[in-house]
């Protein structure tokens, strides 16, 4: 008994985080989201070089493909390896056979020069024909000039902006600061601390597992009138599991909730990366119906076809050697962890 669906879409990923697993513990236990950023992610991203970025993207893309996710909307930051980083990620995903929409997360964390270089990386990649968006880390790490420059660049290039919005309490000013800038093609990751009636334009990217892991709260996305889509925020690429969690968290605050709502959030991914609708995933389970999937663990793809090519069959990717990708990624993880 098998069933076929289009390729699934992860609308908010950080492929660079694939090598974070097993990293040394931070010097001090983080006690809030800001400290998680400072002690874990902002130390990790500063240590990345292009070779690490390449193998983290290969591993992240492979793991996504193995779960029937054929399109990733990535948000990247590597302050000491900015130039060329998006091309490295795009090439790695192409090698595995997974679609990717790249963005470099512009920030003033490393001063105006760092922000300028981030903007230029977005511009360079997009003007060269790369599939992407203009990335911004978050309003709370950017000056007004930087937010305006990113919004302007995106508008000039005819793409949206991919930005974290009100993920933690430290970014509650985002709704006001971004109010005049957003457009319908913006991707607003998290929105945990956005007011119900925020007037930002764009799609809210809901990442339930990450929000739980960071103890930032439940975004409760049913309260928004804007479209909602599902991402992992870098914790793998298994969108079936993310859907299952999104459903049960919704249910935890509303006993009348049905899996259809979280399934609609998953389907919004196809509005953001329409190419994935043409991909084909044959699953180990039938029927692929929200009420079944919500209560059925272990559903896995048997065969994945991307853009007409079979890229996963009989438990293995067809374009790359999974064992080799994992070995190389492990070597790069060791290099990365040694720098922390």
List contacts with Zn ion (CB under 5 A).
Answer: 233
DSSP letter at 37 equals I
Count Cα atoms within 13 angstroms, Cβ side, for 77.
Answer: 25
Rounded CA separation 290/319 (Å): 31
Query: In whole angstroms, how close is the CB of 154 to Zn ion at the nearest point?
Result: 18
Shortest reach from residue 109's CB to Zn ion, in Å: 15
CA distances in angstroms from 85 to 24, 91, 236, listed in the order given: 24, 10, 20
29 by DSSP, 3-state: which? Answer: coil
What is the spatial distance between Cα 78 and Cα 100, in angstroms, rounded to a whole number? Answer: 18
In the complex, the smallest distance separating the C-beta of residue 185 from Zn ion, rounded to whole angstroms, is 18
154: Cβ–Cβ under 8 A, 6 or more apart, which residues?
A: 133, 134, 160, 161, 183, 185, 186
Q: Which of 121, 73, 124 is nearest to 98 (CA)?
A: 73
State in angstroms the smallest separation of the CB of 48 from Zn ion: 15
Q: Hey, is 254 helix, strand or coil?
A: coil
Minimum CB distance to Zn ion smaller for 268 or for 282: 268
Residue number, 234 or 317, with CB nearest to Zn ion? 234
Query: Given the complex with Zn ion, which of 45 and 279 has the nearer CB atom?
Result: 45
CB of 12 to Zn ion, least distance (A): 6
CB of residue 308 to Zn ion, shortest distance in Å: 31
Minimum Å distance from CB 331 to Zn ion?
A: 26
**Closest residue to Zn ion in the complex (CB):** 233
Separation of alpha carbons 80 and 63, rounded Å: 26
For residues 245 and 211, what is the distance between their CA atoms, to the nearest angstrom?
A: 11
* Residue-wise DSSP of 211-225: HHHTT-----GGG-S
Rounded distance, CA 329 to CA 326, Å? 5
Task: Indicate the residue among 233 and 279 with the shorter CB distance to Zn ion.
Answer: 233
The nearest distance, CB 231 to Zn ion, in angstroms, is 8
Nearer to Zn ion, 162 or 303 (CB): 162
Closest Cα partner for 70 from 279, 212, 334, 274?
A: 279
Closest to Zn ion by CB, 66 vs 77, is: 77
């Amino acid at each position: 008994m098998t069933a076929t669906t289009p390729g699934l879409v992860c609308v908010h990923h950080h492929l660079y985080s694939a090598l974070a697993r097993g990293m040394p513990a931070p010097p001090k236990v983080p006690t809030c989201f800001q400290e998680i950023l400072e002690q874990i992610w902002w130390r990790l991203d500063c240590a990345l070089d292009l070779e690490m970025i390449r193998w983290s993207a290969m591993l992240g893309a492979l793991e996504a493909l193995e779960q029937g996710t054929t399109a990733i909307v990535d948000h990247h930051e590597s302050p000491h390896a900015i130039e060329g980083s998006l091309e490295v990620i795009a090439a790695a995903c192409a090698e595995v056979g997974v679609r990717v929409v790249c963005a470099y997360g512009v920030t003033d964390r490393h001063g105006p020069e760092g922000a300028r270089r981030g903007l230029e990386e977005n511009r360079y990649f997009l003007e060269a024909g790369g599939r992407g968006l203009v990335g911004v880390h978050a309003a709370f790490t950017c000056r007004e000039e930087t937010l305006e420059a990113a919004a302007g660049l995106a508008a000039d290039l005819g793409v949206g902006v991919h930005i974290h919005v009100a993920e933690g309490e430290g970014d509650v000013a985002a709704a006001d600061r971004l109010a005049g800038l957003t457009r319908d093609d913006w991707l607003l990751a998290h929105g945990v601390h956005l007011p119900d009636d925020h007037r930002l334009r764009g799609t809210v990217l809901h990442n339930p597992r990450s929000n739980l892991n960071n103890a930032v709260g439940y975004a409760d996305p049913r309260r928004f009138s804007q479209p909602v889509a599902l991402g992992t925020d870098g914790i793998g690429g298994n969108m079936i599991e993310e859907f299952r969690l999104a459903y049960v968290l919704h249910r935890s605050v509303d006993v009348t909730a049905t899996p259809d709502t979280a399934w609609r959030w998953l389907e919004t991914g196809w509005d953001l990366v329409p190419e994935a609708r043409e991909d084909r995933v044959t699953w180990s389970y039938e029927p692929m119906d929200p009420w079944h999937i919500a209560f059925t663990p272990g559903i896995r793809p048997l065969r994945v076809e991307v853009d007409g090519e079979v890229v996963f069959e009989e438990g293995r990717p067809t374009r790359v050697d999974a064992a080799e990708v994992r070995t190389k990624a492990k070597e790069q993880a060791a290099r990365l962890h040694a720098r922390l």
